[in-house]
């Protein structure tokens, strides 16, 4: 009986995400830039980003400031902190690069990711008083923009919004977060669904090897110390006649 091998999901790096985002901002595709960053940093599914499930009303509206990410698939809402306050009261941004990209977005409506549709300029179709309107991106429309941008910017064909999210999940693993910590950020309900995103990357394998080696060395040192103590005790023991 044949068993189907699950395809490995592509994942992009933090560097690639921000090269893409900055390139999109420079080329006027701010929506694509913000979508990539949101998928990578806050692990929201691309379809939720484009469907308007990330809103201005959920961004920096609390004290301390957070960004609320809704995961429509699971129904979970995660408030990701945007700042950490030190003992002296100094506020440190936790996502400065991401917020710098979001700062380029126009507020076109309640959802953060919208496209502006300008009225026609052809005299045959001009309506008196017509104004620009804001609409969500279609999934296929955004895919075309992402592929056009990544090609212009010089990124691999595997660069997609889905790969941005998978890259963010991979970074959680490489940061050596516990499963519980990772799931707190990603909102995965089960261990199985979370582990499906874990990539066997070189940094992750190296980190695991280092931990294993440290464990071996710690045990070796402990054994040598115990043997040394035992030998010293034997040497100092007084033999009674």
Report d(CA 108, CA 115) in Å as an integer: 8
Report d(CA 83, CA 60) in Å as an integer: 10
Residue ranges making up the domain that contains 209: 201-228
Count of domains forming the chain: 2
- Does 188 share its domain with 206? no
What band does 162 get if pLDDT is binned at 50, 70 and 90? Answer: very high
Query: Among 160, 165, 163, 167, which residue's Cα sits nearest to residue 43?
Result: 165
Domain assignment present for residue 7? The answer is: no
- Does 115 share its domain with 206? no
Report d(CA 123, CA 96) in Å as an integer: 45
Where do we find the tokens 């075309």? 144
Q: What is the pTM of this model?
A: 0.75
Domain assignment present for residue 96? The answer is: yes
pLDDT above 80: residue 181: no
Domain assignment present for residue 41? The answer is: yes
- Does 92 share its domain with 207? no
Domain assignment present for residue 101? The answer is: yes
- Does 145 share its domain with 182? yes
- Does 166 share its domain with 214? no
pLDDT in tens, 111-160: 999 998 866 555 555 566 567 788 999 999 999 999 999 999 999 999 99
Report d(CA 76, CA 37) in Å as an integer: 20
pLDDT in tens, 87-115: 888 998 999 999 999 999 999 999 999 99
Domain assignment present for residue 98? The answer is: yes
- Does 39 share its domain with 154? yes
- Does 137 share its domain with 218? no
- Does 109 share its domain with 185? yes
Does residue 92 sit in helix, strand or coil?
strand
What band does 239 get if pLDDT is binned at 50, 70 and 90? Answer: very low
Q: Residue 170 class from Cβ within 10 Å (0-12 exposed, 13-18 middle, 19+ buried)?
A: buried
Beta bridge partners, 91, equal 85
Domain assignment present for residue 5? The answer is: no
Domain assignment present for residue 236? The answer is: no
- Does 169 share its domain with 207? no
Domain assignment present for residue 151? The answer is: yes
Report d(CA 105, CA 87) in Å as an integer: 33
- Does 137 share its domain with 224? no
CA angle centred on 167, ends 161 and 172, rounded to 5°: 140
What is the widest separation between alpha-carbon atoms in the chain? Answer: 120
Report d(CA 109, CA 197) in Å as an integer: 33
- Does 215 share its domain with 153? no
Report d(CA 6, CA 97) in Å as an integer: 34
Give me the pLDDT at residue 86, please. Answer: 83
CATH of residue 96:
1.10.443.10
pLDDT > 70: what percent of the chain? 66
Give me the pLDDT at residue 130, please. Answer: 60
- Does 101 share its domain with 212? no
Give me the pLDDT at residue 178, please. Answer: 66
């Amino acid at each position: 009986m044949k068993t189907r091998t699950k395809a490995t999901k592509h994942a992009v790096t933090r560097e690639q995400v921000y090269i893409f985002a900055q390139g999109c901002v420079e080329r006027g595709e701010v929506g694509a830039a913000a979508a990539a960053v949101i998928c990578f940093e806050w692990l929201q599914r691309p379809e939720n980003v484009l469907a308007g499930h990330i809103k201005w009303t959920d961004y920096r509206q609390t004290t301390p400031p957070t960004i609320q990410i809704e995961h429509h698939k699971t129904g979970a809402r995660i408030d990701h902190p945007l700042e950490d306050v030190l003992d002296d009261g100094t506020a440190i941004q936790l996502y400065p690069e991401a917020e710098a990209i979001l700062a380029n977005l126009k507020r076109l409506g309640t959802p953060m990711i919208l496209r502006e549709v300008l009225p026609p300029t052809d005299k045959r179709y001009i309506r008196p008083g017509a104004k620009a309107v804001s609409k969500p991106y279609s999934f296929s429309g955004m895919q075309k923009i992402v592929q056009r941008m990544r090609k212009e910017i010089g990124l691999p064909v595997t660069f997609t919004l889905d790969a941005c999210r998978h890259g963010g999940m991979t970074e959680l693993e490489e940061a050596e977060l516990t499963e519980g910590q990772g799931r707190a950020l990603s909102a995965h309900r089960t261990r199985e669904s979370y582990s499906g995103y874990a990539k066997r990357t070189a940094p992750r394998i190296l980190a695991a090897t280092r931990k294993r080696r440290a464990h071996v060395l710690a045990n070796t040192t402990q054994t040598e110390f115990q043997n040394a103590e035992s030998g010293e005790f034997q040497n100092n023991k007084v033999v009674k006649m």
